[in-house]
Amino acid sequence: MAWSPTHPDVLWSHNDGGHEAALYALDLQGRLLGTFPLRGVRNRDWEDVATGPCGAGHCIYVADTGDNAEVRPQVSLLRVQEPTALEDGISLEPEVFPMVLPDGPRDVEALFVLPGERIHLITKGRNHAITVYRYPPPLRPGEVVTLEEVQTLTEGSMAIPSQVTGADADPCGAGVAVRTYETLTFYAVEGGRLVPLEGAEVNLRTLEEPQGEGVALAPEGQVALTTEGGNFGGKAALRTLSCRPSGS
């Protein structure tokens, strides 16, 4: 999930793998504003979306990187120009950026983009340490590119509640939020690496999400969280939070 840079009260979302290859524009109450199919691609296992400035103005990035069995030899990033008009049914033409991981297949469910189209992905931590990778710039459509490891966030694999399911960078690129099924942790970006902020972990267990998957950051300190429904008997839901500086 990602906040729209051109429509302040709009969030971009997507469905799980095996469903239609489309982006969905939602308002802050979770109401569907429009469906935008992506031409010529399929939703093998879309896991996260991000937004940011690009040569065309503003772009939406989609991580087709899910790999529960960790067997996919190649994953991909998709990029489309953000539509200026939210007219339902407009189809979008994606660019495709094939990628491989340097140490073999990993389940990757989190994407964040820093200014300058600096693409970063975070593994789930299913069978290995939670690891941050980056796409070595510039983006090259159609060329298979090997991602570069930036850092590990854990010493080893994690239990399911602590596995990473989403991430997002704030619009200025100074901070990143990384969520698991039960926590939301804020990091500062220093020298291209994520540095955890003191006291900046939020307990999400009180939300009782059936399967918390998405996070999006807005310029004014708003945070949106989404949960999938269906698999665990709950309903999909969208919640918004407001972050305030410490001591305010």
Residue 221 confidence (pLDDT):
84
Residue 248 confidence (pLDDT):
43
Handedness of CA 226, 38, 85, 56 (dihedral sign): positive
- If you write DSSP's letter for every residue of 212-248 in order, what string do you get? EEEEEE-TTSEEEEEE--STTS---EEEEEE---TT-
Residue 232 confidence (pLDDT):
57
CA neighbours within 13 Å on the CB side: how many for 76?
16
Residue 127 confidence (pLDDT):
97
**What is the DSSP secondary structure assignment for residue 136, as one 8-state letter?**
P
Q: Beta partners for 122?
A: 110, 132
For residues 229 and 105, what is the distance between their CA atoms, to the nearest angstrom? 27
Residue 246 confidence (pLDDT):
57
Residue 243 confidence (pLDDT):
75
Residue 231 confidence (pLDDT):
61
Q: Which domains does the chain have, with CATH numbers?
A: 2-242 (2.120.10.30)
Residue 244 confidence (pLDDT):
67
Single-letter amino acid code for the residue at 164: V
Over the chain (248 residues), what is each successive 10-residue block's mean pLDDT? 93 93 96 96 97 94 97 98 93 98 98 97 98 98 98 98 97 96 97 94 93 92 87 79 66
Residue 219 confidence (pLDDT):
79
